[in-house]
């Protein structure tokens, strides 16, 4: 992957798309003040080639990709969100394929993607490990995973509280499990984390970074 960051504003004819959302069950804005959020810029900066992103949100995030990306493959299991993303796909310059698929069985050929992007979806997978094994399968040699996910707190008391609220939280927010240890899941699935940023959002711990199959 090229080691440069391309920042993109919404072109003048795209303002009607609004702020967008990362995922339907995590309605965080994709754009703030007419520019992609810092998290989305870091998530996508420098990507090239064919990129697979898991989870459509409302599709607005498709407009944030660097122009060096040759194709975006967007996997989404919900028909309503696929339709919303397809509308946005027709308004971006990069070719986009929006396809039906689940989190533990990606309908993408082996070794076909230069990068995979996950943004607030591993927390909702029935098995984060199975999803990450699928990510490994579709990545080309030398490919990378870009992730922006929940991370279990390193504070034992807070982690206990996260575990206690998880059943109710999961029912209310599309199967999200905020107590998952994303970094441990990456290691267990055979990834090496190249770089990671840790931060809190609404008092919940998150990680954003890059990982490569070992």
The total of structural domains in the chain comes to 1
- Number of helices followed by number of strands (H, E) in the chain: 5, 9
The pLDDT of residue 25 is 78
Asked if residue 158 belongs to a domain, the reply is no
- pLDDT tens for residues 178-205? 768 999 999 999 999 998 999 887 777 8
The pLDDT of residue 167 is 57
- pLDDT tens for residues 40-67? 999 999 999 999 999 999 999 999 999 9
Euclidean distance between CA atoms 163 and 178, whole angstroms: 8
Backbone angles phi, psi at 175, to 5 degrees: 85, 10
Q: How does residue 152 score in pLDDT terms, banded at 50, 70 and 90? A: confident
pTM of the predicted model as reported, rounded to 2 decimal places: 0.86
Q: What is the extent of the structural domain holding 124?
A: 12-152+180-213
Mean pLDDT, range 86-101, rounded to an integer: 95
Mean pLDDT across the chain, nearest whole number?
86
Whether the CA torsion 154, 157, 160, 164 is positive or negative: it is negative
The pLDDT of residue 180 is 83
The pLDDT of residue 3 is 36
Please spell the DSSP secondary structure of 72-102, one letter per residue. EEEE-S-HHHHHHHHHHHTTSSS-EEEE---
Asked if residue 142 belongs to a domain, the reply is yes
Asked if residue 111 belongs to a domain, the reply is yes
Asked if residue 164 belongs to a domain, the reply is no
Asked if residue 22 belongs to a domain, the reply is yes
Do the Cβ atoms of 103 and 125 come closer than 8 Å?
Answer: yes
Asked if residue 103 belongs to a domain, the reply is yes
Residue 213 tokens read as: 């199959």
Q: Say which residue the tokens 């308004």 belong to.
A: 91
Is it the case that residue 137 has pLDDT exceeding 90? yes
The pLDDT of residue 169 is 54
DSSP-based three-state secondary structure for 42 = helix
165 versus 89: which is more confidently predicted? 89
- pLDDT tens for residues 10-47? 444 455 678 898 988 778 899 999 999 999 999 999 99
The pLDDT of residue 201 is 78
Asked if residue 166 belongs to a domain, the reply is no
The pLDDT of residue 7 is 41
Asked if residue 41 belongs to a domain, the reply is yes
Q: Assign residue 137 the CATH number of its domain.
A: 3.40.50.150
């Amino acid at each position: 992957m090229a080691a440069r960051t391309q920042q993109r504003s919404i072109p003048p004819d795209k303002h009607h798309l609004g702020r967008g959302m990362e995922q339907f069950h995590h309605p965080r804005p994709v754009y703030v003040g007419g520019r992609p959020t810092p998290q989305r810029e870091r998530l996508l900066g420098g990507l090239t080639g064919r990129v697979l992103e898991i989870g459509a949100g409302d599709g607005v995030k498709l407009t944030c990709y660097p122009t060096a990306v040759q194709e975006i493959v967007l996997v989404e299991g919900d028909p309503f969100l696929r339709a919303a993303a397809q509308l946005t796909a027709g308004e971006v310059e990069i070719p986009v394929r929006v396809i039906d698929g689940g989190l533990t069985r990606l309908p993408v050929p082996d070794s076909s993607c230069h990068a995979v992007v996950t943004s607030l979806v591993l927390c909702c997978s029935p098995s984060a490990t199975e999803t990450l094994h699928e990510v490994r399968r579709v990545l080309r040699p030398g490919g990378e995973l870009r992730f922006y996910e929940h991370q279990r707190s390193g504070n034992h008391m807070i982690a206990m509280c996260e575990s206690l609220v998880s059943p109710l939280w999961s029912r209310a927010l599309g199967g999200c499990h905020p107590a998952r240890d994303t970094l441990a899941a990456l290691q267990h699935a055979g990834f090496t984390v190249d770089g990671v940023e840790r931060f809190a959002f609404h008092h919940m711990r998150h990680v954003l970074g890059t990982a490569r199959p070992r």
